[in-house]
Structure 1
Amino acid sequence: MAEEFPFGALLRQFRSAADLTLEQLARASGVSDRAISDMERGVSRGPRVRTVEAIADGLALAGDDRVALLAAARDGRGAAGTPTASGLPPPRRVDDFTGRTAELAQVAEWLGGATAGTPSPVVMISGAPGVGKTSFAVRAALLHGPEEQLFLDLRGLDAEPLTPVAVLHRLIRAISPELRVVPRDTDEAAALWHTLIQGRPRVLVLDNAISESQVRRALPPRGPATVLITSRRTLGGLEGVRRLRLDPLPEDDAVALLAAIVEQGTAAPEASLRRIAELCVNVPLALRIAGNRLVSRPGWTVDDLIARLGAEERRIDALTAGDLQIRAAFTLSYQQLSAEARRLFRRLALVPGSSTGVELASVLAEEPVPVTEEALDELVDLSLLEQRADGRLAFHDLLRLYAEGELSREEAAADRAAAGRRRDDWLLDTAVAAGRCFEPGHGLTAAKAATVVEITSSDEADAWLRAEAENWLPALHQAATEGEDQRVIDVAESLHWYSDSWPMWPHWTEVFGLSTRAAERLADDRLRAEHLGYLAWVQIVCLNKPEEGLEYAREALDSAVRSGDRRQIGWAAYYVGWALSLQERWPEVIEYASRAEDDLRAADDREGVPNSLILRGLGLHGAGRFDEAIPVFERAIVRLTDPATAPPEYIAKFAEVTARAFLADLEIDLKRWPAALARCSDGIAAVERSGEASVRMIAALSRRALVHAHLGDAAAAQADLASLRALQEKAGEAATVTGRIAERVAEVERLAARHR
């Protein structure tokens, strides 16, 4: 039987009889599907005994069939004999290779100028599965020059990768086929290889390396030989090498590659190709599979393929064309991981957002942070996870879908649900702790209760809330979906004070919208008034939509009145007045500000009273009642600076700067220049005491420069403008001069020109 059927054909016959795909046999035997495919196609005619036995076990062969398969493999090893002088030619060139222009130029620069007197240039090319490392290396080798290329697949992800001495043997036989004996000792073989390659202009491509030791002895000590290594691993232990990581293609290059594949098979609109590229996350292997599927199925339209790829639960399986499988490419890497790293990889599919920090990964893995860091390093090293410049970790959508599939296959539904609950509990508990760092009366002591991550400053709290917003916000949505109304309220209330520090985040509408609806379900008018007030703040401050803000504020006032809570009544009236001030409805602003002051004073709200006074002063100013506005702002400053009535210090300082700025504007509008100068100087001193950002100091300096100019003190005006510009240059784009400030600066310049 072994004589009638060569090993590859016999193996294919047994696999077909067992009704197994290459992937299924790979899983059953532990031998990669790529290795099995090479055996069946005759590329590998003499596999090792242990490999064949593992395949026989996977096929459940016994008796004569098992003996026949082992005998055919033994005969194949005899026929294969010693490697011939094939020269180890590169694989067939891919004519539709697309993009990578900058990367190819970089490699050409690194390889250029190699001479016998210089160290041999070595470029280490790494990247995720399917990103096109081999094709890139072959293209780079061909572009390097007329030198002979030696291409050796190191079988790094096979069950039995080439050993270091086997690598050396194949290289030696490739350039010196006349040698009858090659040393079996690794050191002796390395010495012989280095002697043989010395002075020869060769481009050596060592493809699919698994470890540093596999390639280290094969690296020529001196040029003119050059080396390109590809690996899914980073091989960080290799010294003296240039490193290049390949990422998915840019969108335009991905579309161009698709177009090149399908151009002879079907006409495809560019918009459709862009959608396919997006679903393939611009990964070259996925793009090639998608293009091949479209070309090989004449009855399919582009929309048919998009529909198949658009179903997330089917996308990985849909990316299969013959023996090209995106799943198989991912599985080869997944099988290389330790048990801890495999579990973490699977559970990272439960991260709601596009990235994660180490702490959330630790919660999902149920391991201490140091253990989790080791597993993450393993994933990054094998290119199954990318560490971004900001330190956070992410993988693209195809790897996420693969991880989801492995999670469903290997872990019970109850375990997956429990991991999701732990994730959400930790995210929301930590969000509450971080948010309370900004709340008067709480501060850092509350944050230290958070598990896994310890927050010791408001800066750390701010950094965590921003970095993990893409994860804690979905957790908040999930809590709302599951009817955890009080939990939603608690999270939103803890973040209320923090929201002042990040007003431009576009998702505060979601946060306070969820909490408002939770308060409605709890039928609590006081809570509803409070959270409607937060929504009004979002519309007024974050979105600059005073009309919508006014609607929420009026709803808040109605709920507050029903609750009878004077503090909430006062704040709701304040929000109504604030929204009205943006519409310049000054008489109504004065009315609601006065109402707010009365109720907040009755509730002894230290923050609310001075803010309502400032709002009332603004209304009087807007109504042209300048002399009435001045004492109102002065009363606000007294409340803010008297320890018996002052709110928390950072609130008091911020509000004092605001009140003094309005006082200066009043005196300027009244053209009382000496009084205005005094007010401006007081305002600048208040900004200095507050430690406020440079934007408020720039505004204060622009006022004083204008007053100096009107008083005829051009030198003082120019000095303030010089200080203003220095602050602006230091702060950069955040301190761009616009609006009122720009108008003041322009007026100062006009006045200065008039006096020259």
Structure 2
Amino acid sequence: MGSGGGPAGPFGRLLRELRQDRRLTIEELAEASGVSGRAIGDMERGRSRRPHRGTVTALAQGLELDEPAHARLLAAARAARPGPQQAESVRVSPHTLPRGVRDFVGRQGELAELRALAREAAEGGEGRDAPAPPAAVVYGPPGSGKTTLAVRLAEGLTSSCPDGAFLVDMRGLDERPLPADQVLSGLLGSWGVPDAELAGLGAEELLARYRDLSARLRAVLVLDNAGSEDQIRPLLPREGRLLVVVTSRRTLAGLEGVRRVELGALNRQESAALLRAVVGTGRVDAEPAAANVVTELCGHLPLALRVAANWAATRTSWSLRRLADRLADEDRRLDALSAGDLRVNSAFALSYSRLAPEAARMFRLLSLVPGGDFGVPPAAVLAGVSLPEAEDLLEELLEAGLLLTARQDRYRLHDLLRLYAASRHRAEDGTEGSLAARSRLRHWLLDTAVLAGRWYEPDYGMPPADPGRLVALDDREQAARWIRTEGDSWLAAFREAAAAGEHTRVAEVAEAMHWFSDHWVSWGHWVEVYERAAAAGAALGDAGLEATHRNYLAWAYWACARRHHEAVDAALCALCLAEGAGDTLQQAWAHAYLGWLRDAVDDLPPAADHYRRAMELFTEADDVNGYLQVCCGVVRLMRATGRPQEAVETYRGIMETLADPRHRDRIPPNVRDFTTLSAVYSVSFVHLDRGDWREAADALRGIRGQFDARGWHKQASKVHLHLAHALARLGERAEAAAEYRAVLWLEGLVPAEVREDARTGLAALAGGRPAPPPRFTL
């Protein structure tokens, strides 16, 4: 009979060769490494060809391999595994629930209490007279499993929460905790509100929009790692069926009307159950006394227990007594962790001590990653290794329990593990090594940010091909996805560059982001970006550069923060600087921004003067893109001041400029498309005002669907509504009805008055009555 295994592969042959060179039997290697003799035999004979990296590391330590031999063994193991599959290009919400642990145990009483609360939320009433939906605060010490419990709860609520589960890391322990308005914007974006609409909402409107949408959701929202009541209070819904679960180290006593669920250490039975789930029932039940010692040394904290248990799980031939002895030894040698008197340091140290040198180095370096979660490329940059090598190292840390998974293909460090990694980094790598790694990551993040942002700049577009690039930036979608996903990280690198006095670098990054920023107005950090960039220009003594970023700052103050007075001051400062420097182009932009700002508050005569001067200066500077942008503003202004014919003539000038073959290569496709869309949309209002129904219908048909594709639902609804009005007056009733219904399909995404106009128009069509006089508003 056959043995059931194939011929030994390269890994099996190399393992046997290394063992025999050291004159070790399989049993002796099992004793030295902690890997079972049966597993070693299976690997050598080719029955097990895909060993985990942690197992390979344990074998290397048992064989006492030097680094080159260890690297050979790892390479052979990697070659035996299937290659990585190409990741699908899927847009994932930044608030997607992370994957829960498979071996969750205990906390049954707490889960029952929270599930009862979820049922109460699901059965709650609707409308303003109904009581507010219940909310819970899960609090307890670090490492007690608060996030794990909340995720476990959310995973089990799919039937009662059909609209999904969402998690926001509030970063309550960070130097800059996440402010409530940023959370509101992020959640609304995840719930389908377009960025363009979010950008136009003030603080009170943002909160009102959140309350309106959340009242209609049957979902669970986890606000993880909250630091204060101020972060949470605006996010608690007043009506509806949205269950909010907050996790925090604090009780958040200032929050009223919430259910508090305390998490402490596990009891002895739960601790033993967690050990059984990870290590195996047979091993734990065979050594109950040793298992008790292990749980005591880990302080019955889930995080410490899981780390220690993962260490034991890869060393199946070692007893739990051996694990307990090692934990006790580590406990004697190490100081208490800065988080308090938690007994976690010994468990961390034990797993850390058994890592391969390169994995241990990666763990230490990860303490330098800014932001909440991270992907493989930043880790590869920090460690100076390839993407496959970095992924292998991260998976080894994940297997050892020293790293956690986050959304999609990303990872995160528990804050206690980050503290421990930072302490080892300071002790083992020194200041010089830390500075070098931090600088390496900062330069890569900012280099990539510049390349991604320039996809949107008229004079750049697609970056040159580079086979060594760690992230795909082959189109605008990929570039935008990287900028958004790594926003916290590249912003932290940007701040570091500013603090280090890298003024040219700061200005370069801010410039690269200028055209993209229109696509992410709701981000919440553009004011800071352009304040720092303007300061960098001033520090360099470059008046033209400072004027450029003061102009961008004027946009950010108004478009992103609704700080009109400061926006005007920034544009006036830019104009003064540009005039002093003789910079015609920045003078043009300053007048353009001042016209836009005056127009926004209906201060129309000064707006017209600024627009006219901007057009003259853009013509003098031969900047066709700036000229076209101002012209679109002039169309709106001429309509607002009762000069429809001038508005139409300006529109015709825009279209002639776009069609001019001399400008074919000077106007990027994205600028050309947006200019056409903006100009046609603006002039359609002139046709509607004058009752030119055929011209209005032809114009609106030409841009129908384009705002929808961009996610700009408010403008999309106006196109459908106004087209319906025009078609109804032309007697094209069937198409008009279809357009009215298209507005109603956008329920929850467009203003209530737009939906009401659509209902009124549809009812008039159905009843054969003339529709009421329409209101044509931008």
Contact 2:592–2:611 at 8 Å: present in 1 too? yes
Higher relative contact order (Cα pairs below 8 Å, separated by 6+ residues) = 2
Answering whether residue 332 of structure 2 is matched by residue 319 of structure 1, we say no
> CA–CA distance in 1 between the matches of 2:291 and 2:505?
48
Aligned pairs for 1:102-501 (under 5 A) are: 132=266, 135-136=269-270, 138=272, 151-153=285-287, 208=309, 210=311, 316-317=337-338, 319-320=340-341, 325-446=343-464, 448=466, 451-501=469-519
Match of 2:726 in 1: 707
> CA–CA distance in 2 between the matches of 1:96 and 1:679?
62
Contact 1:427–1:471 at 8 Å: present in 2 too? yes
Match of 1:654 in 2: 674
Answering whether residue 592 of structure 2 is matched by residue 584 of structure 1, we say no
Match of 1:720 in 2: 739
2:592 to 574, 583, 586: 574
Instruction: Give the TM-score normalised by the residue count of structure 1.
Output: 0.58
Bigger shift: residues 382-391 or 372-381: 382-391
Give the superposition deviation at 1:486: 0.7
Gaps of 5+ in 2: 1-31, 34-104, 116-147, 157-263, 277-281, 295-305, 324-330, 770-778
> CA–CA distance in 2 between the matches of 1:642 and 1:740?
40
> CA–CA distance in 2 between the matches of 1:362 and 1:624?
60
Match of 1:60 in 2: none
Answering whether residue 510 of structure 2 is matched by residue 510 of structure 1, we say no
Match of 2:768 in 1: 755
User: Cα deviation per residue 1:263-316 (whole Å; 9 max; x = unaligned)?
Assistant: xxxxxxxxxxxxxxxxxxxxxxxxxx9xxxxxxxxxxxxxxxxxxxxxxxx982
Contact 2:312–2:318 at 8 Å: present in 1 too? no
Task: Name the SS for the 2:704 alignment partner.
Answer: helix
> CA–CA distance in 2 between the matches of 1:104 and 1:635?
62
User: Cα deviation per residue 1:134-164 (whole Å; 9 max; x = unaligned)?
Assistant: 753557999xxxxx9984458999999xxxx
User: Cα deviation per residue 1:495-529 (whole Å; 9 max; x = unaligned)?
Assistant: 11221222221111111111110001112121111
Answering whether residue 549 of structure 2 is matched by residue 531 of structure 1, we say yes
- Letter of the 2:750 partner, please give it: V
Give the superposition deviation at 1:385: 0.7
Give the superposition deviation at 1:711: 3.7
Give the superposition deviation at 1:440: 2.3
Match of 2:690 in 1: 670
- Letter of the 2:403 partner, please give it: L
Match of 2:236 in 1: none
> CA–CA distance in 2 between the matches of 1:156 and 1:379?
25
> CA–CA distance in 2 between the matches of 1:215 and 1:371?
26
Change (3 A) 1:739 1:746: same
Contact 1:573–1:595 at 8 Å: present in 2 too? yes
User: Cα deviation per residue 1:589-634 (whole Å; 9 max; x = unaligned)?
Assistant: 1111111100001111111111111212221211122222221122
> CA–CA distance in 1 between the matches of 2:670 and 2:107?
62
> CA–CA distance in 2 between the matches of 1:534 and 1:449?
34
Match of 1:606 in 2: 624
Give the superposition deviation at 1:402: 0.9
Bigger shift: residues 545-554 or 521-530: 545-554
> CA–CA distance in 2 between the matches of 1:216 and 1:643?
77
Match of 1:738 in 2: 751
Give the superposition deviation at 1:389: 2.1
> CA–CA distance in 1 between the matches of 2:468 and 2:510?
17
Answering whether residue 637 of structure 2 is matched by residue 619 of structure 1, we say yes
Contact 1:434–1:455 at 8 Å: present in 2 too? yes
Contact 1:432–1:495 at 8 Å: present in 2 too? yes
Contact 2:615–2:627 at 8 Å: present in 1 too? yes
Change (3 A) 1:510 1:140: closer
Task: Name the SS for the 2:691 alignment partner.
Answer: coil
Give the superposition deviation at 1:470: 1.1
Instruction: Give the TM-score normalised by the residue count of structure 2.
Output: 0.57
> CA–CA distance in 1 between the matches of 2:451 and 2:267?
45
Contact 1:346–1:403 at 8 Å: present in 2 too? yes
Give the superposition deviation at 1:132: 4.8
Pairwise CA RMSD: 4.2
Change (3 A) 1:132 1:496: farther
2:110 to 90, 99, 124: 99
Aligned length, in residue pairs: 493
Match of 1:309 in 2: none
> CA–CA distance in 2 between the matches of 1:104 and 1:674?
61
> CA–CA distance in 1 between the matches of 2:472 and 2:703?
38
Give the superposition deviation at 1:697: 4.3
> CA–CA distance in 2 between the matches of 1:157 and 1:330?
17
Task: Name the SS for the 2:559 alignment partner.
Answer: helix
Contact 2:106–2:270 at 8 Å: present in 1 too? no
Change (3 A) 1:337 1:217: closer
Give the superposition deviation at 1:673: 2.6
Answering whether residue 661 of structure 2 is matched by residue 643 of structure 1, we say yes
- Letter of the 2:270 partner, please give it: F
> CA–CA distance in 2 between the matches of 1:367 and 1:354?
22
> CA–CA distance in 1 between the matches of 2:735 and 2:375?
51
Change (3 A) 1:566 1:153: farther
Change (3 A) 1:152 1:556: farther
Change (3 A) 1:453 1:667: closer
Give the superposition deviation at 1:388: 0.9
Larger Rg computed on CA atoms: 1
Give the superposition deviation at 1:492: 1.0
Task: Name the SS for the 2:662 alignment partner.
Answer: coil
- Letter of the 2:355 partner, please give it: L
User: Cα deviation per residue 1:7-34 (whole Å; 9 max; x = unaligned)?
Assistant: xxxxxxxxxxxxxxxxxxxxxxx99xxx
- Letter of the 2:490 partner, please give it: W
Task: Name the SS for the 1:459 alignment partner.
Answer: helix
> CA–CA distance in 1 between the matches of 2:396 and 2:413?
14
Give the superposition deviation at 1:709: 2.6
Change (3 A) 1:98 1:382: farther
- Letter of the 2:496 partner, please give it: Q
Contact 2:310–2:401 at 8 Å: present in 1 too? no
> CA–CA distance in 1 between the matches of 2:443 and 2:677?
40
Bigger shift: residues 443-452 or 405-414: 443-452
Give the superposition deviation at 1:349: 0.7
> CA–CA distance in 2 between the matches of 1:209 and 1:435?
42
Change (3 A) 1:520 1:492: same
Match of 2:562 in 1: 544
Match of 2:700 in 1: 680
> CA–CA distance in 2 between the matches of 1:383 and 1:474?
27
2:611 to 576, 580, 593: 593
Give the superposition deviation at 1:674: 3.3
> CA–CA distance in 1 between the matches of 2:659 and 2:480?
28
Change (3 A) 1:441 1:317: closer
Change (3 A) 1:641 1:356: same
> CA–CA distance in 1 between the matches of 2:531 and 2:353?
45
- Letter of the 2:110 partner, please give it: G
Gaps of 5+ in 1: 1-29, 32-93, 111-129, 143-147, 161-204, 219-228, 233-288, 290-313
> CA–CA distance in 2 between the matches of 1:691 and 1:554?
36
Contact 2:364–2:422 at 8 Å: present in 1 too? yes
Give the superposition deviation at 1:575: 0.5
User: Cα deviation per residue 1:349-380 (whole Å; 9 max; x = unaligned)?
Assistant: 11121222211111111222211111100111
Give the superposition deviation at 1:548: 2.7
